[in-house]
């Protein structure tokens, strides 16, 4: 049992009070003003899981937020290290990329000094620490199913012009997506379920500007539906590389549409749960790459990068990327990975905005075109052409190191 994979989980309610600023979809652009919440439709949560084997430990917290900024990440990592004695980098915080949670990217207001933000940071750290306190031997089972729940929102017309396909009621086939819903199922030594992680890639943008209620959007709804099958409430949603993908219900501003998407993904998760097979030869290990890349338009700033690869077995690895990677980058890494399954998580650690493919810069459009009015340190278009491919290359090196013991 000394070399068993240990697993623990926890969660905290981080719903902001009524009157707090909401992320994304500002109420006004001239002047720029964030939406102000009039209440909550459903809770905003921070869901954590921790893994340990031998001397290797990692704690992951996925919160129902757009993403986190580096000042808050550094603060949470320092508090986590103080409480646990572990390296600050043992904590990975992610956003589900929820556009109807608290404004903690500071694009449209607020700051890391706000009282709610300090409280939120504390609860995230509490969730991570409690997950560590609940570590126990586990068996890992993994299952994946293909879905038809999302589409690529970047359309290139026959004349070579870019068109943003924000809505797609006709379910037009339009470019690549990552259709897989993947479930990591953790069972106790006695065989009963103790938790699960659901991974999927699509923007949670069903509710938009008219909405004034905090909601965890379709990821929260998917976990509610999945919970019925999973027979455990200890569930975590990890958002994939969805920088250019939407659910088919996008921008309908209808909570029934949120439930429909959540039900569809929840059923897919239940199917993956039922089909999950034991993962043999569990062996937890971690490799990281960090760098400061040139900023696209501000010579006074750099883009702080930290990519993390986590090996769970000879067949399974997880990758944590920052910002909003285009799905093509995730697919490229999966094709190059020496692991049969490489689960790519976006929106991790400090937000760096969109991470497009090199080709996308040729066509422009949202997520590529410069937003010079953004604060440079919080810009959504901060990375230069080729940065996405560089991240893929370096992460592929990490995966080969984890799989083969050496860089290729």
End of a domain among 249, 278, 307?
Answer: 278
Domain region containing 112: 6-278
Are 233 and 145 members of one domain?
yes
**109 within domain boundaries:** yes
Quick one: pLDDT at residue 191?
A: 74
Are 201 and 290 members of one domain?
no
**1 within domain boundaries:** no
End of a domain among 248, 263, 278?
Answer: 278
H or E segment and range at residue 156: strand 154-156
Q: How many CB atoms lie within 10 A of CB 321?
A: 30
**366 within domain boundaries:** yes
The DSSP-derived string for 25-66 is: S-SEETTEE--B--EESS--EEEEEEEEETTEEEEEEEESSS
- In the chain, the number of structural domains is 2
The conformation of residue 215, written as its DSSP 8-state character, comes to -
| pLDDT tens per residue across span 351-390 | 999 999 999 999 999 999 988 778 888 889 999 999 999 9
pTM, two decimal places: 0.97
| pLDDT tens per residue across span 184-237 | 999 997 778 999 999 999 999 999 999 999 999 999 999 999 998 888 889 999
Are 342 and 244 members of one domain?
no
Contacts of 226 (CB under 8 A, 6+ apart): 196, 198, 235, 265, 266, 269, 270, 273
* φ, ψ of residue 293 in degrees (nearest 5): -90, 155
Give me the chain's average pLDDT, please.
95
Are 249 and 327 members of one domain?
no
Q: Answer whether 263's CB lies under 8 Å from 220's CB.
A: no
Are 235 and 289 members of one domain?
no
């Amino acid at each position: 049992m000394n070399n068993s994979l240990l697993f623990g989980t926890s969660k905290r309610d981080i719903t902001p009070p009524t009157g707090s600023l909401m992320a994304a979809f500002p109420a006004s652009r001239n002047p720029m003003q964030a939406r102000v919440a009039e209440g909550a439709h459903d809770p905003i949560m921070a869901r954590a899981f921790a893994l340990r084997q031998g001397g290797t430990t990692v704690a992951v917290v996925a919160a129902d937020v757009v993403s986190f900024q580096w000042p808050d990440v550094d603060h949470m990592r320092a508090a986590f290290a103080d409480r646990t004695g572990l390296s600050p980098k043992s904590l990975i915080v992610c956003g589900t990329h929820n556009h109807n949670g608290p404004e903690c990217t500071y694009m449209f207001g607020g700051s890391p000094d706000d009282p709610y933000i300090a409280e939120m940071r504390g609860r995230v750290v509490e969730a991570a620490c409690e997950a560590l306190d609940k570590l126990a031997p586990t068996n890992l089972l993994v299952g994946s199913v293909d879905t038809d729940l999302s589409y690529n929102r970047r359309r290139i017309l026959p004349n070579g012009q870019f068109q943003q396909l924000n809505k797609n009621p006709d379910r037009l086939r339009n470019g690549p997506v990552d259709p897989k819903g993947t479930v990591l199922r953790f069972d106790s030594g006695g065989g009963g379920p103790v938790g699960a992680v659901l991974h999927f890639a699509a923007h949670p943008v069903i509710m938009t500007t008219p909405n004034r209620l905090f909601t965890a959007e379709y990821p929260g709804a998917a976990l509610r539906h999945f919970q019925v099958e999973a027979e455990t409430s200890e569930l975590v949603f990890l958002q994939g590389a969805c920088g250019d993908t939407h659910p088919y219900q996008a921008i309908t501003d209808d909570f029934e549409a949120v439930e429909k998407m959540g039900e569809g993904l929840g059923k897919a998760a239940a199917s993956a749960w039922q089909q999950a097979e034991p993962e043999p030869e569990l062996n937890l290990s971690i490799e990281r790459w960090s760098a400061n890349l040139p900023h696209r338009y501000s010579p006074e700033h750099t883009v702080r990068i930290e990519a993390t690869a986590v090996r769970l077995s000879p067949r399974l690895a997880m990758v944590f990327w920052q910002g909003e990677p285009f799905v093509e980058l995730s697919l490229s890494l999966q094709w190059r990975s020496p692991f049969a399954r490489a689960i790519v998580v976006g929106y991790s650690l400090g937000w760096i905005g969109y991470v497009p493919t090199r080709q996308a810069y040729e066509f422009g459009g949202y997520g590529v075109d410069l937003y010079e009015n953004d604060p440079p340190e919080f810009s959504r278009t901060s990375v230069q052409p080729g940065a996405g491919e560089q991240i893929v290359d370096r992460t592929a090196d990490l995966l080969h190191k984890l799989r083969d013991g050496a860089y290729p």
